[in-house]
Amino acid sequence: MHRSDFPLLAASPGLHYLDSAATTQKPAVVLDAMREFYETSNANPHRGAYELSGRATDRYQAARERVARFFGLGDPDCLIFTRGTTEALNLVAQAWGRRELEPRDEVVITAMDHHANFVPWQQIAIATGARLRICELTPDGRLDMDHMRELIGPRTRVVAFPHVSNALGTVNPVADIVALARDAGALTVCDGAQAAPHMPVHFDTLGVDLYAFSGHKICGPMGIGGLLGRRTVLESLPPWQHGGDMIQVVQDEFSSWNVLPHKFEAGTPNVADAVGLAAAVEYVDGIGLDTILAHERHLLALATDRLAAMDGLTIYGPPAAERSGVLSFTMADVHPHDLATILDADGVCIRAGHHCAQPLMRRLHVPATARASFYLYNDESDVDALMRGLQRAAALFAVAGSASD
Amino acid sequence: MTDDAVAGTRAAGVSARSEAIYQELILDHYRSPRNRSVLNDADVTITHRNPLCGDELIVYLAMDGTTVREARFTGQGCAISQAAASMLTGALRGGSVDDARVILASYSSMMHGDPASRDDPTLGELRALAGVARLPARVKCALLPADAFSRALDQFEERARS
Cα A161 to Cα A206: distance, rounded to the nearest angstrom? 14
pLDDT value for A242: 94
SS3 for A209? coil
Residues A207 and A348 in one domain: no
How far apart, in whole angstroms, are the C-alpha atoms of residue B51 and residue A128?
A: 27
- Which of B55, B79, B141 shows the shortest C-beta gap to A367? B55
Residue A356 pLDDT exceeds 60: yes
Question: pLDDT value at position B19?
Answer: 52
Q: Which residues, 6+ apart, have CB-to-CB distance to A71 below 8 Å?
A: A79, A196, A201, A202, A203, A211, A213, A228
Residues of B in contact with A338 (CB under 8 A): 22, 78-80
Domain boundary among A235, A263, A285: A285
Q: Which amino acid is at A123?
A: Q
Residues of chain B with Cβ-Cβ distance to A342 below 8 Å are: 18, 22
CB–CB contact A342 B27 (8 Å):
no
pLDDT attached to residue A401: 58
% of residues, chain A, pLDDT over 90: 92
A148 and A240 together in one domain:
yes
Cβ B80–A346 below 8 Å, yes or no?
A: no
Note the pLDDT of residue B18. 52
Contacts of A345 in chain B (CB under 8 A): 14-15, 17-18
Q: Chain B contact for A335, CB < 8 A?
A: yes
* pLDDT at site B13: 42
Q: Is A356 a catalytic residue?
A: yes
Across A345-374, average pLDDT: 93
> B54–A361: do the CB atoms touch at under 8 Å?
yes
Contact between B138 and A337 using a beta-carbon 8 Å cutoff = yes
In chain B, whose CA is at the least distance from the CA of A13?
B7
Among the residue ranges A205-219, A225-239, B34-48, B113-127, the one predicted with the least confidence is: B113-127
Which residues of chain B have a CB within 8 Å of the CB of A347? 10
Chain B residue at shortest CA distance from A358 = B54
Provide the terminal-to-terminal Cα distance of chain B, rounded to the nearest Å.
Answer: 71
Give the mean pLDDT of A42-47. 88
Please count the other Cβ atoms lying within 10 Å of the Cβ belonging to residue A404.
7
Averaged pLDDT for residues A271-283? 98
Contacts of A356 in chain B (CB under 8 A): none
How far is Cα A226 from Cα B152, in angstroms, rounded to an integer? 46
Q: Are A236 and A362 in the same domain?
A: no
The predicted pLDDT at position A405 comes to 41
| Tens-place pLDDT, residues A309-338 | 999 999 999 998 889 989 999 999 899 999
| Tens digit of each residue's pLDDT (9 = 90 or more) over A236-253 | 999 999 998 899 999 999
Per-residue pLDDT tens for A118-146?
A: 999 999 999 999 999 999 999 999 999 99
Q: How many domains does chain A have?
A: 2
Contact B10 A14 (CB under 8 A): yes
Nearest CA in chain A to B135: A341
Calculate mean pLDDT across residues A390-404: 78
Q: Which residues of B touch A388 (CB under 8 A)?
A: 11
Domain identity same for A45 and A132: yes
Question: At residue B72, does pLDDT exceed 90?
Answer: yes
CA A73 from chain centre, in angstroms, equals: 18
Q: Is A339's Cβ below 8 Å from some Cβ in B? A: no
**Min CA distance, A342 vs chain B (Å)?**
6
Average pLDDT over residues A275-297: 97
How many contacts (CB atoms, under 8 Å) link A and B? Answer: 58
Please say which residue of A263, A285, A307 terminates a domain.
A285
Tell me the pLDDT of chain A averaged across its residues: 95
> Burial, A37: exposed, middle or buried (Cβ in 10 Å; 0-12, 13-18, 19+)?
buried
CATH number at residue A345: 3.90.1150.10
Q: Which of A285, A320, A341 is the last residue of a domain?
A: A285
Output the DSSP codes for A13-30.
TT-EE-BTTT-----HHH
Q: Looking at domain B23-161, does it have CATH number 3.90.1010.10?
A: yes
Of B11, B18, B54, the CB nearest to A358: B54
Q: Judge whether A10 lies within some domain.
A: no
Interface probe, candidates A338, A358, A386, chain B, greatest B C-beta count within 10 A: A338
Q: Are residues A171 and A293 in the same domain?
A: no
A346 touches chain B (CB under 8 A): yes
Could B56 and A352 be called an inter-chain contact, meaning their C-beta atoms sit closer than 8 Å?
no
* Residue A83 forms part of a structural domain: yes
Residue B6's pLDDT is 40
Q: Which of B3, B9, B18, B56 to mutate to test the interface with A (most CBs of A within 10 A)?
A: B18
Say how far apart CA B23 and CA B49 lie, in whole Å: 25
Instruction: Inspect the interface and report whether the beta carbons of A368 and B141 lie closer than 8 Å.
Output: no
> Are A214 and A85 in contact, with CB atoms under 8 Å apart?
yes
CB-based contact B135 A396, cutoff 8 Å = no
The boundaries of the domain holding residue A338 are: 288-396
Centroid of chain to Cα A399: 34
Same-domain pairing of A127 and A152: yes
Which residues in chain B are contacts of A392 at CB distance < 8 A?
11, 15, 18
Q: What is the pLDDT of residue B17?
A: 53
Query: Does the pLDDT of residue A17 top 60, yes or no?
Result: yes
Q: Do A224 and A114 lie in a common domain?
A: yes
User: Hey, are the CB atoms on B80 and A337 less than 8 Å from each other?
Assistant: yes
Within 8 A of A336 by CB-CB distance, chain B residues are: 78
Q: What is the CATH number for A140?
A: 3.40.640.10
Model confidence pLDDT, tens digit, residues B4-55: 434 443 444 444 455 568 888 999 999 999 999 999 999 999 999 887 777 8
pLDDT of residue A252: 94
Q: Looking at CA atoms only, how far is residue A86 from chain B in angstroms? A: 18
Separation between Cα atoms, residue A300 and residue A319, nearest integer Å: 10
What is the mean pLDDT of the segment spanning A147-171? 97
User: Would you call B63 exposed, middle or buried from its count of C-beta atoms within 10 A (0-12, 13-18, 19+)?
Assistant: buried
Q: Are residues A140 and A263 in the same domain?
A: yes
> By a Cβ cutoff of 8 Å, what residues of chain B touch chain A?
10-11, 14-15, 17-19, 21-22, 27, 52-56, 76-80, 135, 137-138, 141
Residue-level pLDDT at B9: 38
CB atoms within 10 A of CB B33: 18
A178 shares its domain with A44 = yes
Across the interface, of B21, B27, B77, the residue whose CB is closest to A341 is B21
CB-CB under 8 Å, A396 with B53: no
